[in-house]
Structure 1
Amino acid sequence: MLLLVLLACFSPAVLGRLEESQSENDLDLTDLDFGIASRRVPRQVKTILAKETRPLIQELSIKTTIMSRYAFTAVYCAMLNRRSAASEGVFQLQIPANAYVSNFTMIIGGRVYQSEIRPREKKVKPEDGRAKNKESGDPSAEPEMEVFKMAANIPGRNRAVFMLTYEELLQRRLGRYEHVTSLRPLQLVSRLTLDVTIIDHSAITGLEVLLLRNSRGGGAGTSRTSGRPQLPVTTEIKKEKNMCRITFSPNIVQQARIATNGLLGDFVIRYDVQRDMGIGDIQVLNGHFVHYFAPKDLPAVPKNVVFVIDTSASMLGKKIRQTKEALFTILGDLRPGDHFNFISFSNRVKVWQPGRLVPVTPNNVRDAKKFIFMLPTSGGTNINSAIQTGSSLLQDYLSAQDASPNSVSLIIFLTDGQPTVGEVQSVTILGNTRSAVQGKFCIFTIGIGNDVDYRLLERMALDNCGMMRRIPEEADASSMLKGFYDEIGTPLLSDIRINYTKDSVQYVTQHLFTNYFNGSEIVIAGKLTNQSAESLHVQVTASNSDKSIILETDVPLQHREVETENRVKAARAVMAAGARPPGSALAKEFGVVLGSILEDFVERLWGFLSVKEGLRSRLRSQTSREREDHIQQATNLSLTYNFLTPLTNMVVEKPSVLADGTTAPPTNEAISTGNEVLSEPVDPAGPGGRPPTLSNTVGGDEKRPVKKSVTISKTSADGDPHFVVEFPLSKLTVCFNINGEPGHVLRLVSDHKASGVTVNGKLIGAPPPPGSHKHQRTYFSTITVVVDHPKRVYIEVTPKKVILDGRDRIVLPCHSTVTVDSGVLSVSIVAGTNVTVSVGGNISFVILLHQYKNPAPYQRDHLGFYIGQSKGLSHDCHGLLGQFLYEEVGLAQLPVGGEAKPGTVLKVKGRSVPVVQKSRRIYGGAQSVDCWFARNNAAKLIDGQYGDYLRSHMFDTSEWTHGSNGA
């Protein structure tokens, strides 16, 4: 599904690097914990001074499609090295910390260098004594932006293209979604374009485009129109009910008015969607669902809040001043019915109102402001005692009869440092906190500056149903603290439980929530066990201020899927209409692939949420075994969806540049690994020749053949795609082509009623090679084998991974050699070569992995499908290949008058099909086979028409209902 999953075949591999936008040192992807460091002013100055010799950015195009709050962003950057000598080009882009990079590709010297996501190796303890960096799964625990950076040598007088995609789920805060695009190319760009398309199932409301944030050029780059809000210069907005498109394309002069150094700032879009009271919005696509729940017009639940404020010496000055300002404002926002107290801590702990929480009254608010105003700063940081004191206050209050039974209780804890007084061991502090809280209230933690133990604060919040926020050293702590309180200051529901029809869903993300706060949103995703089901029963239970709430309904799945598919089609149409840059086949293909990813956005959203959940669960783990289980699960999902996460690395081979400034030639031509499937050389026999034997391998790096082997026939679908059908009884081999469209799903084998086996293949597009008569080429990018008896299980194969969904869901990388038996289904992978899928003991399929090193632009990694054993398939088997398994055919000569040669026809199922002799290469090019070729998309050879073999999705198991062609 991802663009050009290609690897270069020479020079050492280098790792893409992510770094915080405020860090001084670059961080390699082998160390993706993103710790805190000082500002990067020296690096920016150095870059500006060197800009005259660095490659020129000719074009920077950023295209984002936000599909139901899930955002896909594709970045296209073209650089030109104007010097005669090779020069280093640096691609650098700030991306939201909550996002995951899903693809990176370089095109240098006409060659493609495709990144690969691999599992992250276990880290060894740093020798320099540095503290371990954060390994967060919580977006609130990370800085708002990170920097993706890749450097590569560009040959003299040559051009390089960098293409990056990343994905994120927009979070609703304070009643709106916010999408941020960083525009900081570090130089003026000839063609700079930003295109953001928002498409949603619900009506879009409150759309707002802000002035460029943190722009160093002031307001010179904005336009002012009387009676209309200010927008960044050249910004255009086209809005409809469910869709809007925002474009921003300043020329060089307009960019220079904003910032001459290319640091334009953040382009910020805010919006919300119309929502009604009920169970929320559920969207369905390709066997997965996503549920958005954000009720409105509910009364606020009373809250019991204890503010625990660090007053150690390090808070002196700006930090304590801004903290006090925020607390003054927050006190004014407390509601009648709320109860509160304040605790300050340094070496010692001081409680404003010992032994109680006080109600919100004018006098209590006044006295609290006096207490805050008089807070001094001195001493160290006794975090453990402060948390214990706050927890004791809340526990005593909740144990008394005064507390409202449906109130929400929480601690808001703020510090700028690490524990230095009393208990200083993080593990002990966390254990003490869990014992004190006992699951009765939540802890929300806030860290200010660079010296905070953010890992401790994050663990403390995650263990106790809260969130953590960081406030950068130079930020406005007052506004950020007030903003965080606003997010959690109005609880509307507590003890939320969302349930779905039993046995109708699986792998559902978190569906139990302690609180729901006004202006936020609960998002749940999962997988449907039965895609043909008509409806899904959904029930939401929760508690409000004075009552329990039960909401339930039956969601029409088929209707919702049609609606979602229509939105996806609309998104693809918008993307196609705005394709840039014109004339660039690779860039257009990049957009096409991004569009195809949209077709699986619900599944990818589920994967995104599941990875985040796995990372959070890892931090909450109490045992090493539990932690390893969560790590493995999150790693497998990261590999499945090609996400760059704290558990994975991105590897891309770097082009070698010779002394004369040119790119070194590849050591080998592009080679498909499919030619390695044979355990011994095969004599290129004609029809009826001896088939090769494929040896299964197990274990680690060494490929050791086991005794068992699988004999495969010539019956296959491989290449573009070229179909070959072997008729052993007739001693004939027939071949044909299928000219499909990218995204089409073809039925290859259908034996649903008898053996329960169905095989489908999905096509991916590629441009034709130079001089080809074809408009485009198509290959199989994904193949699924679904078995419905005795229990529904499936295997999904791509060139990069195999997903086995049986007793457990297992994700296996194709670069490893492994065998897994899941009862009815078993899979055996020979690293980078082939995948053998066995059903029972009498059905097997072999899927060749065609992967290219240093590919040409028209080459794509793809799959070849071969039928191994077919004895277990019934005589009623159908599909493009399955319909011929038990047929006999014959040849006949048709005399033609005049000088024309007699024609040959193939007799099959009473039909006459004109054929000609051809030769085809199979088994990854290892063998040549002579065959009789049927033209015109196999017209009359196959039952029905091409369109009859198209399926709606990869897991469709419907039977053949179209009958046969006439004679």
Structure 2
Amino acid sequence: YLSDYFSIRSTIISRYASTHVQTVLRNTHPEAKEAIFDLDLPASAFISNFTITINNKFYVAEVKEKHQAKKMYDEARRQGKTAAHVGTRDRETEKFRVSASVSAGNQVSFELSYEELLHRHLGKYQHAVSVRPRQVVGNLTVEVSISERTGIDYVHVLPLRTSQTGGRGEWDADVPPSTRVEKGSHCAWIVFTPTPQEQAAFSSAGIMGDFVVQYDVALPDVAGDVQIYNGYFVHYFAPRGLLPVQKNVVFVIDVSGSMYGTKMKQTKKAMHVILSDLHPDDCFNIVTFSDAVHVWKAGRSIPATAHNIRSWKTVNQILLPFLPSGTDINKALLEAASVLTQSPLEPSPQRIPLLIFLTDGEATAGVTSGTRILVNARQALRGIISLFGLAFGDDADYGLLRRLALENRGVARRIYEDSDAALQLTGFYDEIASPLLYDVALSYRDGIDLTRTLFPNYFHGSELVVAGRVAPGATEFHIQTVSHGHNGQLSLENDISANATEAATFGCSLDLGQIGRFVQRLWAYFTIQDLLQARFRSNDTTARRLLIEKATNLSLKYNFVTPVTSLVVVKLEEEENATAQAIGTPDPPSLRREGSD
């Protein structure tokens, strides 16, 4: 197949990105051949449209409830019709793939649209699109437009990223060639149009990497940015200039036999960097575990003075895997919780208790029931300790770590086995290294159908986002923020007109309707994610069923492919030698979203 055209166009309005990918493939062979379109998708993205076009005939995929989609697919296959089916589950990495058989001399066009909210990490938003046509393309274009109401501080295009963990290709330290950036106060345009010669210079297969744009916004109002359109609102809260709150952090590190070798070397390397970055007013301790548990400083955490940090670095042979050994996750969690609760939780100044838990396996010693571990952790952490789970490698029980984090004020993250695993570990720690606020409560008078409004922590360089609807008839929108920080309680109040932000366009678009639509779709996107997360945490069958029903109804209304819906294509008529045949089977389907659970 010859690729004549490959285009990616992303429109970002106030952090909400809508991306449209189109590729045209031409069969240059004398017989019918299978064309394959596959694309790496951001983990948090929802597909919103997919179309196959051949000989000016359009086949548009429908989003259906997942069981109904499966039924439609099976029925079409039973009747001998051409069909394809795609579903997605909660995953970390996502792939979209479709195959189509096209007759000699004909061409096929694949078009895919997806949407995502860009999250702020370490003071920047990052938008990455996969550019992997797998050949040199006659016409290749990536175009990104960014519109931000409060202003754009900076825009930066990174070198092409050639691996999931951030490796780079031949253009090591440079912006990709044929990249043009135009930045105004509220609008930025980025265009990447490599020539066939430049594509061939990158690799024999053409461009094979992620085109990555980073930027940050101006946010002068400490109360944040509130935008209201068509009865929906979004509130971006990211106050700048706050002093960090000191922390009491306990690192819990798996030293069972499976950590032996490269994993442990990378963990040690990361710990050296992380401990060196602790503030002298912070406190810390280290718990190691296999089928036994060892607390470095029994009793309570100690101040992160230079002397104490050097002391750990000289005795870090405690990070020595035992061979063979099991993994007692339950006991390790309880010992770490004991250290944090024995240390005064409210000294002067306040220190935020954090528990960072790293493992590469499943619970195989002591209490092995996930349900029992969750209950024990919840009781031990008492709703005041934030747990951050790091699942190192494919064998780690990511599902358990995710539940532990969600139920205990934290998040879970995968650490991929790669040469830069130490950088992944230190990178995650950097995100939570500087807590600025804790127990943040955002409330909205005349706000209804709200997404999450309570946040355990606000870290330097991040952002808290709430979306919702404005009650019918409301003319003023009252916002109150209550939180705790370095100087004690922080309280902010703000009143804005319910139609204050609808009066004018901003950024790159002169279309007020386009600007207004993003808030409603962002609300739906966020609400679905909240419902699915609540379903994941719930142990009540009836509650789970209601949450799934609500998430399904919203997914169908906004045409989102989510863990409760699927994408299905059924071609009603067969035409010899000129039809796209996206033929799949349920496991594995030819049209699918893939990833590791």
State which of 493, 498, 504 in structure 2 corresponds to 1:552. Answer: 493
SS at match of 1:461: helix
Give the corresponding residue for 1:510. Answer: 452
Q: After TM superposition, list the pairs within 5 Å mapping 1:913-952 onto structure 2.
A: none
Give the corresponding residue for 2:506. Answer: 567
1:98 Cα deviation from its structure 2 partner? 1.0
Give the corresponding residue for 2:147. Answer: 199
State which of 430, 433, 440 in structure 2 corresponds to 1:486. Answer: 430
Please tell me the residue identity of whatever aligns with 1:663: T
TM-score, length of structure 2 as denominator length: 0.90
Contact 2:31 / 2:103 at 8 angstroms: preserved in 1? Answer: yes
Q: After TM superposition, list the pairs within 5 Å mapping 1:8-19 onto structure 2.
A: none
1:181 Cα deviation from its structure 2 partner? 0.9
Q: CA RMSD in A?
A: 2.4
Q: After TM superposition, list the pairs within 5 Å mapping 1:324-343 onto structure 2.
A: 324-343=268-287
Please tell me the residue identity of whatever aligns with 2:483: A
State which of 43, 46, 51 in structure 2 corresponds to 1:97. Answer: 43
TM-score, length of structure 1 as denominator length: 0.56
Shift of the 437–648 alpha-carbon distance from structure 1 to 2, 3 Å rule, reads same
1:221 Cα deviation from its structure 2 partner? 5.1
Shift of the 256–596 alpha-carbon distance from structure 1 to 2, 3 Å rule, reads farther
Contact 2:246 / 2:349 at 8 angstroms: preserved in 1? Answer: no
C-alpha distance in structure 2 between counterparts of 1:664 and 1:334, whole Å: 58
SS at match of 1:479: helix
C-alpha distance in structure 2 between counterparts of 1:302 and 1:561, whole Å: 41
C-alpha distance in structure 2 between counterparts of 1:472 and 1:122, whole Å: 35
1:388 Cα deviation from its structure 2 partner? 1.0
Shift of the 372–121 alpha-carbon distance from structure 1 to 2, 3 Å rule, reads farther
Deviations 1:357-410 (A, max 9, x none): 1112122111122233442112221111101111111122246xx734732111
1:264 Cα deviation from its structure 2 partner? 2.2
Please tell me the residue identity of whatever aligns with 1:321: K
Shift of the 423–656 alpha-carbon distance from structure 1 to 2, 3 Å rule, reads farther
State which of 509, 519, 524 in structure 2 corresponds to 1:607. Answer: 524
Give the corresponding residue for 2:577. Answer: 661
SS at match of 2:367: coil
- State whether structure 2 residue 356 is matched by structure 1 residue 418: no
- State whether structure 2 residue 410 is matched by structure 1 residue 439: no
Please tell me the residue identity of whatever aligns with 1:647: V
State which of 647, 651, 659 in structure 1 corresponds to 2:568. Answer: 651
Contact 2:222 / 2:240 at 8 angstroms: preserved in 1? Answer: no
Q: After TM superposition, list the pairs within 5 Å mapping 1:736-751 onto structure 2.
A: none
- State whether structure 2 residue 100 is matched by structure 1 residue 152: yes
State which of 184, 190, 215 in structure 1 corresponds to 2:138. Answer: 190
Give the corresponding residue for 1:281. Answer: 225
C-alpha distance in structure 1 between counterparts of 2:354 and 2:69, whole Å: 36
Contact 1:306 / 1:390 at 8 angstroms: preserved in 2? Answer: yes
Q: After TM superposition, list the pairs within 5 Å mapping 1:304-703 onto structure 2.
A: 304-378=248-322, 379-398=325-344, 403-404=347-348, 406-501=350-445, 504-530=446-472, 533-563=474-504, 566-567=505-506, 570-571=508-509, 599-654=516-571, 661-663=577-579
C-alpha distance in structure 1 between counterparts of 2:100 and 2:495, whole Å: 54
C-alpha distance in structure 2 between counterparts of 1:219 and 1:467, whole Å: 31
Unaligned runs of 5+ in 1: 1-54, 125-132, 137-141, 223-228, 574-594, 666-967
Contact 2:102 / 2:580 at 8 angstroms: preserved in 1? Answer: no
SS at match of 2:509: helix
Q: After TM superposition, list the pairs within 5 Å mapping 1:838-857 onto structure 2.
A: none
State which of 111, 118, 124 in structure 2 corresponds to 1:170. Answer: 118
Contact 1:195 / 1:248 at 8 angstroms: preserved in 2? Answer: yes
Contact 1:352 / 1:371 at 8 angstroms: preserved in 2? Answer: no
Report the structure, 1 or 2, having the larger helix content: 2
SS at match of 2:384: coil
Give the corresponding residue for 1:33. Answer: none
Give the corresponding residue for 1:964. Answer: none
Please tell me the residue identity of whatever aligns with 2:146: I
1:482 Cα deviation from its structure 2 partner? 0.6
Shift of the 176–430 alpha-carbon distance from structure 1 to 2, 3 Å rule, reads same
1:323 Cα deviation from its structure 2 partner? 0.7
C-alpha distance in structure 2 between counterparts of 1:190 and 1:369, whole Å: 55
1:253 Cα deviation from its structure 2 partner? 1.1
SS at match of 1:391: helix
C-alpha distance in structure 2 between counterparts of 1:347 and 1:616, whole Å: 31
Contact 1:293 / 1:522 at 8 angstroms: preserved in 2? Answer: yes
1:443 Cα deviation from its structure 2 partner? 0.5
Shift of the 456–314 alpha-carbon distance from structure 1 to 2, 3 Å rule, reads same
Shift of the 373–263 alpha-carbon distance from structure 1 to 2, 3 Å rule, reads farther
C-alpha distance in structure 1 between counterparts of 2:457 and 2:574, whole Å: 57
Q: Which has the higher contact order (CA 8 A, sep 6+)?
A: 2
Contact 2:229 / 2:499 at 8 angstroms: preserved in 1? Answer: no
SS at match of 2:12: strand
Q: Which moved more, 1:197-206 or 1:287-296?
A: 197-206
Shift of the 263–372 alpha-carbon distance from structure 1 to 2, 3 Å rule, reads farther
Contact 1:657 / 1:664 at 8 angstroms: preserved in 2? Answer: no
Shift of the 600–77 alpha-carbon distance from structure 1 to 2, 3 Å rule, reads same
1:73 Cα deviation from its structure 2 partner? 0.3
C-alpha distance in structure 2 between counterparts of 1:512 and 1:295, whole Å: 16
C-alpha distance in structure 2 between counterparts of 1:110 and 1:359, whole Å: 70
C-alpha distance in structure 2 between counterparts of 1:107 and 1:81, whole Å: 14
Give the corresponding residue for 2:34. Answer: 88
SS at match of 2:332: helix
Contact 1:65 / 1:571 at 8 angstroms: preserved in 2? Answer: no
Please tell me the residue identity of whatever aligns with 2:568: V
SS at match of 2:452: coil
- TM superposition outliers: structure 1 runs of 4+ over 6 Å: 215-219
Contact 2:54 / 2:580 at 8 angstroms: preserved in 1? Answer: no
1:84 Cα deviation from its structure 2 partner? 3.5
1:656 Cα deviation from its structure 2 partner? 6.5
Shift of the 217–505 alpha-carbon distance from structure 1 to 2, 3 Å rule, reads closer
Q: Which moved more, 1:209-218 or 1:145-154?
A: 209-218
Please tell me the residue identity of whatever aligns with 1:335: H
SS at match of 1:206: strand
Q: After TM superposition, list the pairs within 5 Å mapping 1:46-125 onto structure 2.
A: 55-121=1-67
1:135 Cα deviation from its structure 2 partner? 4.8
Deviations 1:294-340 (A, max 9, x none): 01111111111110000111111111111111111111111122111
Give the corresponding residue for 2:587. Answer: none
C-alpha distance in structure 2 between counterparts of 1:434 and 1:369, whole Å: 32
Give the corresponding residue for 1:271. Answer: 215
1:480 Cα deviation from its structure 2 partner? 0.8
1:286 Cα deviation from its structure 2 partner? 1.0
C-alpha distance in structure 1 between counterparts of 2:542 and 2:243, whole Å: 43
Please tell me the residue identity of whatever aligns with 1:415: T
C-alpha distance in structure 2 between counterparts of 1:247 and 1:161, whole Å: 22
C-alpha distance in structure 1 between counterparts of 2:171 and 2:539, whole Å: 53
SS at match of 1:447: strand
Contact 1:656 / 1:664 at 8 angstroms: preserved in 2? Answer: no
Aligned residues: 561
Contact 2:69 / 2:568 at 8 angstroms: preserved in 1? Answer: no
C-alpha distance in structure 1 between counterparts of 2:395 and 2:580, whole Å: 47
C-alpha distance in structure 2 between counterparts of 1:152 and 1:663, whole Å: 9
C-alpha distance in structure 1 between counterparts of 2:281 and 2:426, whole Å: 20
Contact 1:656 / 1:663 at 8 angstroms: preserved in 2? Answer: no
SS at match of 1:250: coil
Contact 1:406 / 1:546 at 8 angstroms: preserved in 2? Answer: no
Please tell me the residue identity of whatever aligns with 1:562: A
Please tell me the residue identity of whatever aligns with 1:557: A
1:444 Cα deviation from its structure 2 partner? 0.2
Percent identity for Structure 1 against Structure 2: 41
1:134 Cα deviation from its structure 2 partner? 10
Give the corresponding residue for 2:591. Answer: none
Please tell me the residue identity of whatever aligns with 1:211: P
1:537 Cα deviation from its structure 2 partner? 1.1
SS at match of 1:603: helix
1:628 Cα deviation from its structure 2 partner? 1.5
